[in-house]
Structure 1
Amino acid sequence: MEMREQTEDPEPNNMENTEPDHKTSTEKPQRITACLVNAAFFGALGSSYLYGYNLSVVNAPALYIKTFYNKTWMERYGEPIGADLVTMLWSITVSIFAIGGLLGALCVTLLTKLIGRKGTLLLNNVFAVIAALLLALGEKARSFEMLIIGRFVMGVDSGIALSALPMYLGEISPRHMRGSIGQFNSILICLGVFTGQVLGLPEFLGQESRWNFLFAFLALPALLQLCVLPFLPESPRFLLMERRDEAGAEKAFRAFLGKKDVSKELEEVHAESRAQNTLHMASVTELLLNPALRWQVITVVVTMACYQLCGLNAIWYYTNGILRDSGFAENVIPYIVLSTGGIETLAAIVSGLVIERIGRRPLLIFGFSAMAFFFGLLTVFLNFQDQYSWMPYLSFTCILAVIASFCSGPGGIPFVLTGELFEQSYRPAAFMIAGIVNWVANFAVGLLFPFMQESLQTYAFLVFLVVCVLGAVYLYFILPETKNKTFVDISQSFAKINKVPLGDKEIENELAIKAGSKEMEENGKVMSDVEMESSL
């Protein structure tokens, strides 16, 4: 209590003396610098953009690839390949992407510890270039095995990217724009999906003589990232807290914040470092066994599972069928499907613009609730589709609404949230857990949905409706708002449900740090109360 009194009694005078400086320090970091935008854009271009591109690029050349499998089999064995075998080879080609993603997610903790966040992103481009070569040259080499291995390697690239990129974006962003910068991940995923749809059109690369160039394109974003990202700074938090490189961290802060005096930011990161539970990088086991982080881990698992199990992947299976039933010609359908990619990208951009005003929690709850509502409508419309000629148009409208609802919050915020709920030493382990859940759920949907569709028919979407409702209910009762909050604020929000007393080590450290900062002010060093998290 004495410590609390020491830190609270002088507060009125301290506020008067330091208010102008505090105002200055909070306004300047809010200005987006060119360095920050370039780091976010080019970091995402060679990472999440390629993930999104690979989600859609295999749809257009599917028939040509199966023909290539049959032709290669004939050349090798002198007989046509069986229908069941070609289906199995195609299923392996598609699903092995998720297996590679799981392996990539398992490597993230080690890579980010050894070579840093930026270093991991740069190294990851090697996998993208190798995958592009394997996929593009498989036809020339008369080897369908090269396509399968290429998809696996590209999965490894995506597994690493979807963990390392959000970690990097969260650590370089000022606290007041952490969500907006973090949404670059989601926006570039959607843009990648849209690019795959556009390049897959017959006028571009969606022809039998050109489909291998669709995969050669994978190397271009990776090479662009390799040309730009090396000249941008590493995460200052990583440099200071893990490498103890204060000079490098100071230089990175200046570049990202666009100002010369970053002493306050450096001191705040030092304060967080002193207040951490552990000074070494925690393992997944240590994270899972820490009672103070129990509900943070559960929240990440639930949110990431809902991200994959909410049914968006299944939507793509139905879109072409619904348009076909609506009477559209087969050669027109690919152009109409472009609207889904356009809506997806637009919704992600809007979400990035409003996330710092509305907050993470409302966008997540609204997104899952809206998806549940439109899944219900879609089920009704699909059941009456054969009775009314105009009903398929309503079904397609519901599909667009589901996609927009997903990208308004659930499509990107789970990655932002994973970085915000954990302090520096636990963050890599948290992203590994999130990545494992993400890719296992992704594989499960791809494996189980065809059987669900066969047994439940049009009622298959009711399963996703239940998942969305459960996700929204959980987030409503458990998740606190993390917008513009320090890591200490977020930890305190979970303290009650974790049954961790507020007098724990972290809170005591925070009070001690605040008391120390006020002593420094009395000695002539004017600064505002040091929070547990930096202004980044």
Structure 2
Amino acid sequence: MAQLCLQGLTFFLSYAILAAVLGMLQFGYNTGVINAPEVNIENFMKDVYKSRYGEDIQDDSVKLLYSLAVSIFAIGGMLGGFCGGMIANRFGRKGGLLLNNLLGIVGAVLMGCTKLSQLYEFLFLGRFIIGVNCGLNTSLVPMYISEIAPLNLRGGLGTVNQLAVTVGLLLSQVLGIEQILGTDEGWPVLLGLAVCPPILQLVLLPWCPESPRYLLITRQWEEEARRALRRLRASNQVEEDIEEMRAEERAQQAEATISMMELICSPTLRSPLIIGVVMQLSQQLSGINAVFYYSTLLFISSGLTEESAKFATIGIGAIMVGMTLVSIPLMDRTGRRTLHLYGLGGMFIFSIFITISFLIKEFFGYVQEMIDWMSYLSVVSVLSFVVFFAVGPGSIPWMITAELFSQGPRPAAMSIAVLINWMANFLVGIGFPTMKNSLENYTFLPFSAFLAVFWIFTYKKVPETKNKTFEEILALFRHGNGRSMLNCVNALEQRMPPAERAALMVAEEKPHPDSSASERSSRELVPAVRPPPPLPPPRFPNSAV
């Protein structure tokens, strides 16, 4: 803890991050809360329909109504994610989060009053509104945290987003079991508890400062930005942060605030936008939502009893929380790109094992000993699949999208990325049951293919953003492919403007407190293999210019 304090993790910064990530806890809770009380909600819909129309509703119609209650959450999330950038620019990051809590409260109250009012339409409307709330949270929270965190802690603190999501998922799974709130009387309370995160955030967040980057770059309020930085850093020495923001402001003066259409059409920003979109797809099309939504069914199919399958599902939530905690210190030590490659690679391997376990269970289904053995293999494969998701794809796509863009295009980029994420989420949730019926034991093979494609894309195209300022990352994309430029920084120096050359020199030369001796020595040896410049290079201060 003392080491973290020396690196910039102050008490007030921790408080601000805790207050902000309550929005991501809301997202995780509402993603998982609807699954446990499925039978109870369907029974309620049957009773309401019969009391209204005097006849029983068909089972297929009930399934359709329930699927609407599940999927309308993602539709609201698409709308909220799409509007996130506009809200962030108009009201600020903190201001947008505060206003968004009103949606969270209204949606939770509607869901909680569904049974009392005998209107299942309240459930649909509440799920839609809470979806808009969560879509805005997935855009605003990562943006706020990435802008208030010190450069050397940005990765680890960004992972707290995913930690909050996993805690929310686990909480909904535990509260949803039959012994607690998974009953006919308890499910409205279970859904209504979604009112707690927005109320708590309304209490905690007003004491936090607005994003200093938003104050300085977007609003041009330098003194307010300095005041916010002093509180967050617990120090009056904030000139290095101010200079970095000014460098980013100078770099984006020509582009100003960029609309989504301008971002899509910009040749310079097209490459980071494609990377951000593919990273979001690598999270949702990895198959993880199929595991979250249908893990109990998967475990029962592998041979577990229904009760054991439900507790194994809770185990998935617990593993997600534990592995996300493990990944926090690794994020700024190992790097985003490396962890993402490890995560995708591990998920690919264990998705193949899941398929193998299904096939062997079918071929040797008459041998009881083989069924028992395959049950263990299937459970271990699914849990390992979740472990590797938590290591990389769980948190990195949210973080790296905010890191790849400067202040001007960042809100528009986050809106597009979040919209794509929610669309992919919706498609997997809707399409997986049909895909399972069609492919049966080969259900996970399409996800395996996607994981292989995403691994290759990450290896070829995604840059390492660890310990890079926003301006340094932007300078890389201005002159070519991000990853190759990270490895060939010095070859560009002769044809780059002085300000961008300075940014790249800082990225190449400055040691980081967490870097190993071998890493520092390798940086020091780089000039020895460069061709000698015709003139001595100019000296720059140790900050991005």
- Note if contact 2:471-2:503 (Cα within 8 Å) is conserved in structure 1: no
1:68 aligns with 2:44: yes
1:531 aligns with 2:544: yes
1:116 aligns with 2:92: yes
In the alignment, structure 2 segments of 5+ residues that lack a partner are 486-490, 506-539
- Note if contact 2:142-2:161 (Cα within 8 Å) is conserved in structure 1: yes
> Superposition pairs for residues 156-175 of structure 1, below 5 Å?
156-175=132-151
Find the counterpart in structure 2 of residue 19 from structure 1.
none
> Superposition pairs for residues 445-460 of structure 1, below 5 Å?
445-460=428-443
CA change 1:484–1:139 in 2 (3 A) is same
Find the counterpart in structure 2 of residue 392 from structure 1.
375
Find the counterpart in structure 1 of residue 343 from structure 2.
367
Q: Which runs of 4+ in 1 moved over 4 A?
A: 26-29, 325-328, 498-506, 510-515
Residue 436 (structure 1) aligned to one of 410, 419, 425: 419
Find the counterpart in structure 2 of residue 30 from structure 1.
7
In the alignment, structure 1 segments of 5+ residues that lack a partner are 1-25, 516-526
CA change 1:323–1:261 in 2 (3 A) is closer
Distance 1:113 1:336 in 2: 43
CA shift, 1:202, in A, is 2.0
- Note if contact 1:514-1:530 (Cα within 8 Å) is conserved in structure 2: no
- Note if contact 1:42-1:228 (Cα within 8 Å) is conserved in structure 2: yes
1:496 aligns with 2:472: no
Query: Does the residue aligned with 1:244 lie in a helix, a strand or coil?
Result: coil
Find the counterpart in structure 2 of residue 518 from structure 1.
none
Find the counterpart in structure 1 of residue 532 from structure 2.
none
Paired letter, 1:217: L
CA deviation vs aligned residue, 1:419-456 (integer Å, no higher than 9, x gap): 11111101001101101110111111112111111111
CA shift, 1:277, in A, is 4.9
1:347 aligns with 2:357: no
> Superposition pairs for residues 74-223 of structure 1, below 5 Å?
74-223=50-199
CA change 1:27–1:323 in 2 (3 A) is closer
Paired letter, 1:96: I
- Note if contact 1:277-1:506 (Cα within 8 Å) is conserved in structure 2: no
Q: What CA RMSD, in Å, does the superposition of the two structures yield over aligned residues?
A: 2.4
- Note if contact 1:278-1:425 (Cα within 8 Å) is conserved in structure 2: no
Q: Which moved more, 1:315-324 or 1:140-149?
A: 315-324
Find the counterpart in structure 1 of residue 522 from structure 2.
none
- Note if contact 1:319-1:396 (Cα within 8 Å) is conserved in structure 2: no
CA shift, 1:508, in A, is 4.0
Paired letter, 2:206: P
1:308 aligns with 2:292: no
Paired letter, 1:497: N
CA shift, 1:486, in A, is 1.8
Distance 2:421 2:247 in 1: 33
Paired letter, 1:40: I
Query: Does the residue aligned with 2:306 lie in a helix, a strand or coil?
Result: coil
CA deviation vs aligned residue, 1:469-489 (integer Å, no higher than 9, x gap): 110110001112110012233
Residue 410 (structure 1) aligned to one of 377, 393, 396: 393
- Note if contact 2:217-2:249 (Cα within 8 Å) is conserved in structure 1: yes
Distance 1:470 1:328 in 2: 32
CA shift, 1:492, in A, is 3.8
Residue 229 (structure 1) aligned to one of 194, 205, 216: 205
CA shift, 1:179, in A, is 0.6
Query: Does the residue aligned with 2:444 lie in a helix, a strand or coil?
Result: helix
Query: Does the residue aligned with 2:481 lie in a helix, a strand or coil?
Result: helix
- Note if contact 1:275-1:506 (Cα within 8 Å) is conserved in structure 2: no
Distance 1:27 1:133 in 2: 40
Query: Does the residue aligned with 1:234 lie in a helix, a strand or coil?
Result: coil
- Note if contact 1:383-1:458 (Cα within 8 Å) is conserved in structure 2: yes
CA shift, 1:291, in A, is 1.0
Paired letter, 1:464: F
CA shift, 1:233, in A, is 0.6
CA shift, 1:416, in A, is 0.7
CA change 1:269–1:321 in 2 (3 A) is closer
Distance 1:488 1:227 in 2: 35
CA shift, 1:321, in A, is 3.1
1:323 aligns with 2:306: no
CA deviation vs aligned residue, 1:16-75 (integer Å, no higher than 9, x gap): xxxxxxxxxx99872311111111112111x11011111111111110100110000011
Find the counterpart in structure 2 of residue 357 from structure 1.
333
Distance 2:412 2:287 in 1: 27
Find the counterpart in structure 1 of residue 408 from structure 2.
425
Find the counterpart in structure 2 of residue 480 from structure 1.
463
Query: Does the residue aligned with 1:208 lie in a helix, a strand or coil?
Result: coil
Query: Does the residue aligned with 2:307 lie in a helix, a strand or coil?
Result: coil
CA shift, 1:514, in A, is 12
Q: Which moved more, 1:115-124 or 1:379-388?
A: 379-388
- Note if contact 1:274-1:509 (Cα within 8 Å) is conserved in structure 2: no
CA change 1:446–1:456 in 2 (3 A) is same
- Note if contact 2:475-2:503 (Cα within 8 Å) is conserved in structure 1: no
Paired letter, 1:37: S
- Note if contact 1:282-1:429 (Cα within 8 Å) is conserved in structure 2: yes
Distance 1:249 1:277 in 2: 18
CA deviation vs aligned residue, 1:168-210 (integer Å, no higher than 9, x gap): 0000000000011111110000000000011112222111111
CA shift, 1:325, in A, is 4.7
1:274 aligns with 2:250: yes
Q: Which moved more, 1:139-148 or 1:195-204?
A: 195-204
Between the two proteins, the alignment pairs up a number of residues equal to 496
Paired letter, 1:528: P
CA change 1:488–1:29 in 2 (3 A) is farther
The share of aligned pairs that are identical, in percent, is 37
